[in-house]
Structure 1
Amino acid sequence: MTSLPHFKRSGMFCASESEKNMDATRKAVAMVALAEYQALQNKYVLHLHNTEEELQEESTRRRRAVVSAVLLSRQQIILKSGMEWEIMLDMDDNTFASHFRIRRARFEQLLRLLQEGGLHTEHSHGLPPLPVPKKVLMFLWYMANQNSFREISDKFNASQSATHRAILQVLTIMSGIGTNFVSWPRGCEKRMSSAVFQRISGLDGVIGAIDGCHIRVQRPPIRGGDYINRKSYYSVLLQGIVNDEGRFIDIFAGPPGRVHDARMLRGSTFYTEWQEKMGDYRLLGDSAYIGQAFPFIVTPKRDNGALTDADHQQNYNISRGRVIVEQAFGRTKCKWRRLRDLQNTRMDIVVMIIMAACFLHNFALGAVNGCDEHPEGCPREEDGNE
C-alpha cells in the first residue's frame, strides 16, 4: 500500500519533467490533436446552427491552418501532405519553386493555359473529383521527380488510376499547345541572337546551336535492339536547337538511340523547312555534322595534326558558342528529373514526356536559375547529354 503513493508521486514528477523538456515536434503533435478535438467538439456544439456542408468546410479550413502552422514552425519544406494537398498552394514562393521548379506566378499562368486547352475538373465513378490545380501540381511533381505513380497518388490522396489519367491528360494537352512554349524566332529576335553569339564566339550570322541528347528508357518491346546506343544502354534521342538564352526554339524527339545525329536531323521536320527558317543565318554544331552537307551548320575542323593556329581558334570559338545547347540539355534534366530515366515502354508517351520537359524548360527559364546539385553548372556526365 505504501508503494502506490510513491508511484503516483514519481509519475507526477516524471510528467512534470517531461512537460518541461517537450521538444517542438511533440508540441506540434499536441497542437494538431487539440485542434482535431476542438473541431470535433464544435461539430456537436454548432450542429443546430450550421449545415453539414458548412461544418465540413470549417473543419477543412481548421486542419489546413494547423498543418500550415506546424510546417512553418518546423521550417519544414519536405512535403508529406496526404489529404491536405491544398497547403501546397499556401507555400511561400521559394518553397513552392523548390518542389515544383516554377514560381507561383508561372504556375498560375500554366494553369490558365491548360484550362484554355481543355483541362477541367472530372467526376468519375462517384469518387472525389480532381480539381484542376491539383492535376497541374501532380503533373509538375511527376515531371520534377522520379516517384512512382503509387508514391504520387499517396502524396496527393488520389487513386493510382486517377493519378495516371490526370498526368496523361495534362501531357496530351501540352503536346497540343506546344507553340505556346517552343517557337521559331522572328526577324528581330534573330538579329538579337546573332549579336549575342557574335560577342560570345566572334562568329557572324549565328542564331543558335544544335545537338542531340540521349534519354534513357527501358528496352521497347518492338525492335528493342535499335534503341541501344554506343554507351550500351537503351535510349531515345532528342534533337534541340537553342538560342543565345539557352531557350529551345525547335525540338524533335523519338528516334532510337543508335541513330546518328546527322541522320536524325535529316529525318526531322526542321530539315524540310531549314531554308525558309534559316535564311542567311547559321547554327553551331559539333563534329557529328562534319561533312554531312549541311550548309546552315558551322562545324569545327577535325584535328588531324595539321591544323593551323587559325583553325584551332575557330574550333575554340565554335565550342564556346555551342556549349549553350549542352547546358540547356543539362538544366532540363536537372529540373525535370523524369527525363533521367523513363520507365514508360509506350513510345508515344515517352515522346510526350520529353517534349513536355522542353516546354517546361522554356516556361521556367529565368525563374529558378540555380542548380542545388551542380552549383558549378550542368550537365552531369551520367545524364548522357552528348
Structure 2
Amino acid sequence: MVTLCCQEPTELSIKKTGIAWMKIFEMEDQTFKSHMRVSKEQFQYLCRKLKEQGLHENHPKGGPERIPLEKKVLVFLWYLANQNSFREISDKFDISQGAAHNVVLDMLDKTCALAQQFITWPSECQKIAQAALFQRMCGIDGIVGAIDGCHIRIQRPPVRGGDYLNRKAYYSVLLQGIVDDLGRFIDILAGPPGRVHDARMLRVSPFYSTWRQKLGEYQLLGDSAYVSHSFPFVVTPKRDNGTLSEDDLCRNAKISRGRVVVEQAFGRLKCKWRRLRDLQNSRIDVIVKIIVAACTLHNMCIGQDNTCVEHPLGCPRAGDDN
C-alpha cells in the first residue's frame, strides 16, 4: 500500500545548512570582501552607524527569533550583493524566510536614513579641489561633477506599468546620479519610470530647482541627452553631423574623457551590488529604498583605489544595461 502525504513541511521542520554563519568572520579580509562586498573594517563601521540608527539584536518586528546585529548586517549585504531568493538566504543564515524578509526591510530603512550623511553636496573648498581634478582629467575648467541616468531593471508594476517600459523593451526605473572625480555620488534621484528621458528627469528633479545655489560658477559634464535642452550648467558635446571642426572634435573628446566617471560609477554600483541588475520587485517604494541603500553603501566603501577586482579593465562590462 502506498500512502501519499500532501501536507507541506513547515518552515521549522526544514533543516538549515547555514548554522555555522559565524565562520564568515574567520575568513581572511580579501575573501570576506569578495563575498560581502565590504572589508571587515568597513563592516564594523557600518554596524556602528546602523546601531546609531536604532538597529539592535531583537527581531525588528517583535518575532520569536533573536538575531544578532552582525548577522542582520550580513543578511542585508548578502541580499544586495546577490540575486538569491529569501528561501536561499533563509537556508544560508539559518533564519526563517519571514525573518529574512523583515530584516531586509528594516535594514533598508536604517541604511536609507544614513544617505544624508554619505551622499552630500561638496562644500566650496571641495568644489575647488574637484574642479582642479576634473581639469587635470579632461582639460576643461570649472567642472565639479558628471551627470547621467541609469536604468534599473524591475518587474512590471501593477499600477501604470506601461510607463516603466523603456526604449530597450524592458521595465525599469531610473537612477539619476551626479558624481565627483572619484565616482562618489554627490546627488541622486531614484524612481522615475524607465520611459522618462534623461533631460526630462533632470528638469523635474529637486536638483534642477537648486542648481544655481549648488553650482554657482561651476558646471557639470553631461552626454548628448542634455544637448537640445536649456541646461546652462551642463557642458555637453556637439552633435557630430560630419561637419564638426577639429576644435569641436577635440572638445567632444575631452567631455567624453571627463564624464566617463559617471558611467564607471554606475558600472561599479551594479557590479558590487548585483541585486540592482534585476530587481524582482514591483513595489516602487521598496525599489527606491534598495537603490538609495546601494548608493549609500557605494559611497561608504569608496576609496582612492576604485578598481573592480573582478573587472580590472573597468565597469560596466559589455552587455550591461546602463
TM-score by length of 1: 0.77
State the SS of the aligned residue for 2:119.
coil
Aligned to 2:43, which of 107, 115, 123? 107
Matches within 5 A, 1:290-305: 290-305=227-242
The one of the two structures with greater contact order (alpha-carbon pairs below 8 A, sep at least 6) is 2
How many angstroms apart in 2 are the aligned matches of 1:347 and 1:298?
A: 32
Residue in 2 aligned with 1:86? 22
> Following the alignment from structure 2 to structure 1, what is the Cα–Cα distance between the partners of residues 108 and 21?
21
AA at the equivalent of 1:239: Q
Asked whether the equivalents of residues 112 and 296 of structure 2 are also in contact (C-alpha less than 8 Å), the reply is no
Match of 2:3 in 1: none
Match of 1:150 in 2: 87
1:38-92 Cα deviation digits (max 9, x unpaired): xxxxxxxxxxxxxxxxxxxxxxxxxxxxxxxxxxxxxxxxxx9611111112222
Does residue 346 of structure 1 match 2:283? Answer: yes
Percent sequence identity is 61
Q: CA RMSD in A?
A: 1.5
- For the pair 1:251 / 2:188, whether they are aligned, the reply is yes
SS of residue matched to 2:173: strand
| TM norm structure 2 | 0.92
**1:324 Cα deviation after fit:** 0.6
* Farther off after superposition, 215-224 or 90-99: 90-99
Write out per-residue CA displacement over residues 145-192 of structure 1, whole angstroms, 9 at most, x where no aligned residue: 110010001000000000000011010111122112110000111111
Larger C-alpha radius of gyration, 1 or 2?
1
Q: CA deviation at 1:373?
A: 3.9
In the alignment, does 2:157 pair up with 1:220? yes
The one of 298, 311, 315 equivalent to 2:252 is 315
Structure 2 gaps, min length 5: 1-15
Q: In the TM superposition, what is the alpha-carbon distance from 1:382 to its structure 2 partner?
A: 2.8
Read off the aligned partner of 2:207 and give its amino acid letter: F
Q: Are the aligned partners of 1:241 and 1:249 in contact in 2 as well (CA < 8 Å)?
A: yes
> Structure 1 runs of 4+ off > 2 angstroms?
123-128, 366-375, 380-383
Q: CA offset at residue 383 of structure 1?
A: 2.4
Match 1:96 to one of 32, 50, 53? 32
What is the distance in 2 between the residues matched to 1:89 and 1:270? 41
* Partner in structure 2 of residue 118 of structure 1: 54
Is contact 1:97-1:368 (8 Å) kept?
A: no
Q: 1:261 aligns with which of 198, 201, 212?
A: 198
Structure 1 equivalent of residue 13 of structure 2: none
Normalized per residue, which structure has more helix? 1
Give me the whole-angstrom Cα distance separating, in 2, the residues matched to 1:237 and 1:214: 5
Contact 1:81 1:87 survives alignment (8 Å) = no
Within 5 Å, give how 1:18-37 maps onto structure 2.
Answer: none
**In structure 2, C-alpha distance between the alignment counterparts of 1:305 and 1:218, rounded to whole Å:** 41
Equivalent residues of 1:102, 1:367 under 8 A apart? no
| SS across alignment from 1:378 | coil
Q: Is the contact between residue 103 and residue 367 of structure 1 (CA under 8 Å) also seen in structure 2?
A: no
CA–CA distance in structure 1, aligned partners of residues 139 and 304 of structure 2: 29
After superposition, residues 26-105 of structure 1 pair within 5 angstroms as 82-105=18-41
Instruction: Tell me if 1:201 matches 2:133.
Output: no
- Secondary structure of 2:65's partner? strand
Q: What is the count of residue pairs matched by the alignment? A: 306
- Give 5+ residue unaligned stretches, structure 1: 1-79
Given that 2:114 and 2:296 are in contact with CA atoms closer than 8 Å, whether structure 1 keeps it comes out as no
User: Are the equivalent residues in 2 in contact too, given 1:171–1:356 (CA < 8 A)?
Assistant: yes
Cα distance, 1:99–1:332 mapped onto 2, change above 3 Å: same
User: How many angstroms does 1:125 deviate by?
Assistant: 7.0
* 2:205 is equivalent to residue 285 of structure 1: no
